[in-house]
Structure 1
Amino acid sequence: MAFSDLREYLNYMRKNGKLIEVDSEVSTDLEIAEISRKATYSHLYPLIFSRVKEFPKWKVVSNVFYSLEGVYDVLQTRDLESISKSFLEGFSDMPVTLLDKVKSLRDVLKLGKFTPRAKKPSFAKSDLKLTSVPAIKTWPKDAGRFFTFSLTITKDPDTGVHNVSVYRIQIIDDERAIIHWQAFKRGSMTAMRYKEKGITKVPVAIVNGVDPAVAFTAASPVPAGLDKYLFAGIMRGEGVGVTELDNGIMVPSSAETVFEGYVNTDELMDEGPFGDHLGYYTPKDLFPVFHLTKSYSREDPYFHVTSVGKPPLEDAWIGKGVERIFLPFAKMVIPELVDMNLPEYGVFTGVGIFSVKKYYPGQAKRAMMAIWGLGQLSLLKFVIVVDSDVDVHDLNEVLFALSTRVDPQRDVMIVNNVLTDSLDFSTPSPPLGSKIGIDATRKFKEETGREWPEEVTSDPDVQKKAEEIISKLKSRYLPS
């Protein structure tokens, strides 16, 4: 089942007793953010704030991705891998990349039910200003109020492919805001392509309040070159309804609010500081300015926000959802890959643990290089590769593999002066830094110069008898 809009999702959650109405009057200045963070840490259900100081006509929604259960609610399945598996199984052969796969006419037809479709908008033209919405200040030293879960939508000037992403946006005044798209992000890359054509005014739409599956997709690392609306259709099981604005940008037709305008690539302003998902303030830096030209709104609109900080908050659970959904795509490119874990406290781009079926010497390091070539995984600072019998989600098993299968001089690879997360303040010259890969697999003779030792295993008959005796002892001496 796909939700038609944010309101249908909220009604579904309310009907199932999984929506929390906050009756207290709250402020957009720190209070909504603090309550939302504490709710996420406690795995409370999504929140609706209906009494927001200075914004009486608005309802603020937060904590949609309150845990991995929240991702299941939004995508209406607990088997997240099945979303991408069922999609990929529809193709007759295995592509080199998904982009290669969708080039044939047959495959374009296969994608038909997932592609966006024109639909009459639920919103209407309004006199809404950027300052009119209940955007929030999340930390005391933030530069001001920010859009934290609004979608920034751009369109490639050559291919017409739409990018739908979540970037933080700092409000400057009624008609100006600063969009924090980092140099390697798709919005920034699209702007550069406009600039190469001599176009400095890049058409942009800032959208808030959509079906959370679309918001989830916007926050996901969809492979470059593929339309995020298409991926949102895959997540939903059906295409997204869209409406074309006067500036040529397609926006979700059921959005609560839409700001139409442009980004001037020649106009930069200091953005920040902002307390981000690493748990530290990002210092001021120059980013492009968005100029509002038209606005649209639904009646009695909802405004969707999130509050970031030290994990695990909503971005961590989105990351865990992405991990499961994108695993089949990763396996398509790296066939020996068995499983992966992007731990919540590894802040998604910090630490990645991957298990592989190892068939030949040097394979683990080859897998590391392939992992660093996969979209958002390219930002991983620590990549740990283990054998297929290691449960990547059991950190004790991973630690055992690190302790018994790694010689630091032989099995640790450091790569210098490569692209990292621009928000990572620990790097000497962001966005350039270093990465480390650790081969924690068993080694072939070619890798060590000698045979790998045999691991201890129990005699099957003795093991069976011991288990029977231990089971009786447990039932007798341990509390039930």
Structure 2
Amino acid sequence: MQHVSHAPRLLRDRMNTTRNKDSIVRYQNMQQLLEDLEKTGQLVKVTEEVDPYLEIAEIQRRAYRAQAPAILFTRVKGTPFPMVCNVFGTLERTRWIFRDSLRALEGVFKLKIDPFDFFKQPWRYAGAPRALWSTLPRKVKTGPVMANTTTVTKLPQLHSWPMDGGGYVTLPQVYTESPDNPGFMKSNIGMYRVQLTGPSFVPDKEVGLHYQIHRGIGYHHAEALRRGEPLKVNVFVGGPPAMTMAAIMPLPEGIAEILFGGALAGFRIPMVTRKGELPILAEADFCICGTVHPGEQKPEGPFGDHLGYYSLAHDFPLMRVDTVYHRDGAVWPFTTVGRPPQEDTVFGTFIHELTAELVPTVFNGVREVHAVDQAGVHPLLLAIGSERYVPYAQERQPQELITCGLSLLGNTQTSLSKYVIIAAHEDNPMLHTHNFREFLTHMLERTDFERDLHFVTRTTIDTLDYTGISLNQGSKLIWAACGPKKRSLQDTLPSGLTLPDGYSAPRIFAPGVVVLQGPKHTAARDEHDTAMFTLAEHLQNQSADLSSLPLFVVADDADFTAADWDNFLWVTFTRSDPATDMYGAGAFTHCKHWGCKGPVIIDARLKSFHAPALEEDPAITAKVDKLAAKGGCLHGIL
């Protein structure tokens, strides 16, 4: 194992050095990046053999938590290819990777926000023309990735969690083009998980292609089905780090990710183009070329996903494998996902930094958004908007905010949000969505629960979310509030509070928020739980004053849920469907509108039909403990 101990000084020197034009670093491939990471003490090598079945994944998760360097494993069981993890494991390292192209890209974004600023401060946009020129891919006849061929079963077979259904690609760049309008401008690159092996698939001939709803590949697949044609698919692994970032970038529909990849890379992305074939990323480490034929599906999964639960096996498109290419010295980059935070948290934060100022240009009236990582990203979206529709009203109420919420649910990746909680900027110009305690307090103080909850039922939801009434189907909530405070929030339990049988351990989690423990959930999917109606009725008839406690959350384990904000957010919003799992004291429905006169209740228990939560294998944990202990090859790193 090699470990550069003086990394911090080297890193500071590297980041603070002013380069001339010839020394600007733009990583063309994974090899250049890993070499630079090693030189600056941001990468260690492990030469001891590691197992891609569970062991290497647990090492990666610990490396992320430890803010460790990237780790290159040179001997991986069952494959001739080395694997590397934690490349994007810290926000500082991710910024450093793109250090010489970020300014130009930010200049392009800034131009969109205020084009006249170009004339005011032209020196800030010195790199913008190059960034714009870099967006267009460069066609080449061949590339390093074409040097060799291999088979699927020789690729690293990463199993991240004990119930995973096979080996997976976890940092893929899945490339497709529109059958109706082929070419780069209508292409899509997405990080859709790819199952390499499993009982459903013929070894080396078939892989599973899992893509969620509202993804660009879905539109291409629909076009191919309409035309009665197979859809060509290329899966790139490795290559320029900008392409990995492009694959997860939530771009507006109609903007090809490869264009963003070029702008972030700082150079035109070379793509191997051959007549009748789908383009191949020339500098990729690997490329799996295949086709998805009409009507061909097979069970894909289970897979431990980024919500912290397993995605169970469901039928997804089958990809027939044509060829597997790899470059000389190919390295297989990987990550694992699970209950946040994980390495993909860094991706989200980095993207937020890049795009925060663009939010008002995409969503009219919206000033700030925050897809909450602790809640699994899509389950909870916080937003701050404007409320200007009736400025002269004696009592301001949400109107423009509802329009903003509907806009968020109708555009880009925010459309997958389940709970959209939106506040008015005018009520507190200093309020921000990244301080959840302050944000929730602001909302609870101002919400009229008879008026301000707006449900969308039996609609599409995130494929990975099992709280709904079926796969891809559930409900959404726009919770909008504005105006003066309506209540003060209590931070102690009232002395006279009682609970019905089966409920216990109430405690104040935050001002106005009570967490309590409920009985085990037994109701069927798409049904209310009568035990929750019992609780709502009991609270309605409560002798204790609950006017300052507007939110009750029912969990399986009140101690765990109330231990910290991470637990509270994860339990509350990954285990509840708004329409099915929200109840209220004094609840009513008037002309299809639901509200309540007393506290709102969120049923955040694990449901009888939910997918199981992720847990590590104790034997693997003990094995990795030894590697991290004194004398182990990862001592001082994990």
TM-score using structure 2 length: 0.64
1:88 aligns with 2:112: yes
Q: 1:169 to 1:87 in 2, by over 3 A?
A: farther
- Paired residue for 1:434, among 460, 475, 480? 475
SS in 1 for 2:289: strand
Matched, 1:143 2:165: yes
Number of the residue aligned with 1:477: none
Identity %: 26
Say which of 439, 447, 453 aligns to 1:412: 453
1:250 is matched with 279
Between stretches 386-395 and 282-291, larger displacement belongs to 386-395
Specify the SS of the correspondent of 2:323. strand
Question: In structure 1, what is the equivalent of residue 590 of structure 2?
Answer: none
Cα 1:430–1:83 change in 2 (3 A) is: farther
1:80 touches 1:325 (CA, 8 Å); kept in 2? no
Cα separation, partners in 2 of 1:215 and 1:54, compared to 1, 3 Å: same
In structure 2, the partner of 1:22 is 46
Amino acid at match of 1:132: K
CA distance in 1, matches of 2:131, 2:345: 32
1:295 Cα deviation (Å)? 2.6
- Matched residues, number: 432
Deviation at 1:81, TM superposition (A): 8.7
Contact between 2:104 and 2:131, CA under 8 Å: does it hold in 1?
Answer: no
Q: Give the deviation of 1:225 after TM superposition.
A: 2.0
Counterpart-to-counterpart distance in 1, 2:330 and 2:412 = 35
Aligned twin of 1:309: 338
Aligned-pair distance for 1:210?
1.6
Q: Distance in 2 between matches of 1:399 and 1:79?
A: 35
Alignment of 1:71 with 2:94, yes or no, is yes
Give the distance between the partners of 1:34 and 1:309, measured in 2 at CA: 11
Does the 8 Å contact 1:247/1:260 carry over to 2? no
Against the structure 1 CA distance between its residues 214 and 326, is the aligned structure 2 distance closer, same or farther, given a 3 Å change threshold?
same
| 1:262 to 1:277, Cα distance in 2 relative to 1, 3 A | same
Deviation at 1:208, TM superposition (A): 0.8
The CA deviation at 1:271 is 0.7
Q: Which amino acid aligns with 2:46?
A: V
- Written as runs of structure 1 = structure 2, the 5 A alignment for 1:437-452 is 437-442=478-483
AA partner of residue 405 (structure 2): M
**2:207 matches 1:177:** yes
SS in 1 for 2:150: coil
Q: Does 1:132 align with 2:154?
A: yes
Q: Which moved more, 1:167-176 or 1:72-81?
A: 72-81
Counterpart of 1:217 in structure 2 is: 246
Does structure 1 conserve the Cα–Cα contact (< 8 Å) formed by 2:130 and 2:266? no
Judged with a 3 Å threshold, the aligned counterparts in structure 2 of structure 1 residues 393 and 80 are, in CA distance, closer, same or farther, namely farther
Q: Given the superposition, is the C-alpha separation of residues 79 and 440 from structure 1 closer, same or farther in structure 2, using an over 3 Å criterion?
A: farther
CA–CA distance in structure 2, aligned partners of residues 295 and 407 of structure 1 = 58
Matches within 5 A, 1:77-116: 82=106, 85-86=109-110, 88=112, 111-116=132-137
- The secondary structure found in structure 2 opposite 1:203 is strand
User: Which residue does the alignment assign to 1:394?
Assistant: 435
- Relative to structure 1, the CA distance from residue 80 to residue 34 in structure 2 (aligned partners, 3 Å threshold; closer, same or farther) is farther
Deviation at residue 111 of structure 1 after TM alignment: 4.1
Aligned to 2:422: 385
1:9 aligns with 2:33: yes
Residues 1:186 and 2:216 aligned together: yes
Q: Please report how far the alpha carbon of residue 125 of structure 1 lies from its aligned counterpart in structure 2 after TM superposition.
A: 4.5
Which structure has the larger Rg? 2
Aligned AA (2:59): I
Q: Which stretch shows the higher mean deviation, 310-319 or 71-80?
A: 71-80
1:122 aligns with 2:129: no
For 1:392 and 1:401, locate their aligned partners in 2 and report how far apart those are by CA, in whole Å.
11
Structure 2: how far apart are the matches of 1:52 and 1:109? 40
Structure 1 counterpart of 2:451, which letter? R
Q: Offset at 1:181?
A: 1.5
Letter aligned with residue 194 of structure 2: I
Q: Does 1:422 align with 2:445?
A: no
Conserved? CA contact 1:83–1:235, under 8 Å = no
Q: In the alignment, does 2:205 pair up with 1:164?
A: no
1:232 alignment partner, SS class: helix
Q: Distance in 2 between matches of 1:217 and 1:20?
A: 26
1-structure distance, mates of 2:103, 2:383: 20
Distance 1:42 1:409, change over 3 A: farther
CA RMSD in angstroms, aligned pairs only: 2.7
81, 85, 88: which one aligns with 1:58: 81
Contact 2:249 2:257 in 1 (8 A): no
Letter in 1 for 2:195: Q
Shift of 1:205: 0.8
- Structure 2 residue identity aligned to 1:295: V
The Cα of 1:3 is off from its aligned counterpart by 1.3
Any residues of structure 2 matched to 1:314-393 within 5 Å, and which?
A: 314-361=343-390, 362-386=399-423, 387=425, 388-393=429-434
Amino acid at match of 2:415: S
Instruction: Tell me by how many angstroms 1:38 deviates.
Output: 1.4
What secondary structure sits across from 1:423 in the alignment?
Answer: coil
> 2:92, 2:302 → 1: CA distance?
32
Alignment check: 8 A CA contact 1:142 1:274 kept:
yes
1:118-143 CA distance string (max 9 Å, x none): 23412224330111111301111111
Residues 166-206 of structure 1: CA deviation (Å, up to 9, x unaligned): 1111123112101001343221221110110121x211111
- The AA in structure 2 aligned to 1:113 is S
1:426 CA drift (Å): 0.8
Aligned partners of 2:267 and 2:103: how far apart in 1? 18
Contact 2:69 2:89 in 1 (8 A): yes
**Structure 1: gaps spanning 5 or more residues:** 94-107, 444-451, 456-480
SS in 1 for 2:242: helix
Residue number among 394, 403, 408 corresponding to 2:444 in the alignment: 403
- 3-state secondary structure, aligned to 1:410: coil
The Cα shift of 1:300 comes to 2.1
Q: Distance in 2 between matches of 1:75 and 1:35?
A: 25
Q: What letter matches 2:189 in structure 1?
A: V
Label 1:163 to 1:289 Cα distance change in 2 as closer, same or farther (>3 A).
same
Q: Secondary structure at the match of 1:33?
A: helix
Q: Which moved more, 1:165-174 or 1:375-384?
A: 165-174
- The structural deviation recorded for 1:62 is 1.3
Aligned counterparts of 1:373 and 1:65: Cα–Cα separation in 2: 30
Residue aligning to 1:284: 313
For residue 138 of structure 2, what is the amino acid of its counterpart? Answer: R
Contact 1:203 1:247 in 2 (8 A): no
Answer whether contact 1:80 1:321 (CA < 8 A) is retained.
no
TM-score by length of 1: 0.83
- How far is 1:311 from its partner? 0.6
Q: Which has the higher contact order (CA 8 A, sep 6+)?
A: 1
Q: Is the 1:60–1:302 contact (alpha carbons within 8 Å) kept by the matching residues of 2?
A: yes
Q: Which amino acid letter does the alignment assign opposite residue 480 of structure 2? A: D
Q: Deviations over 1:303-332 (max 9, x none)?
A: 011111111112222122222323333311
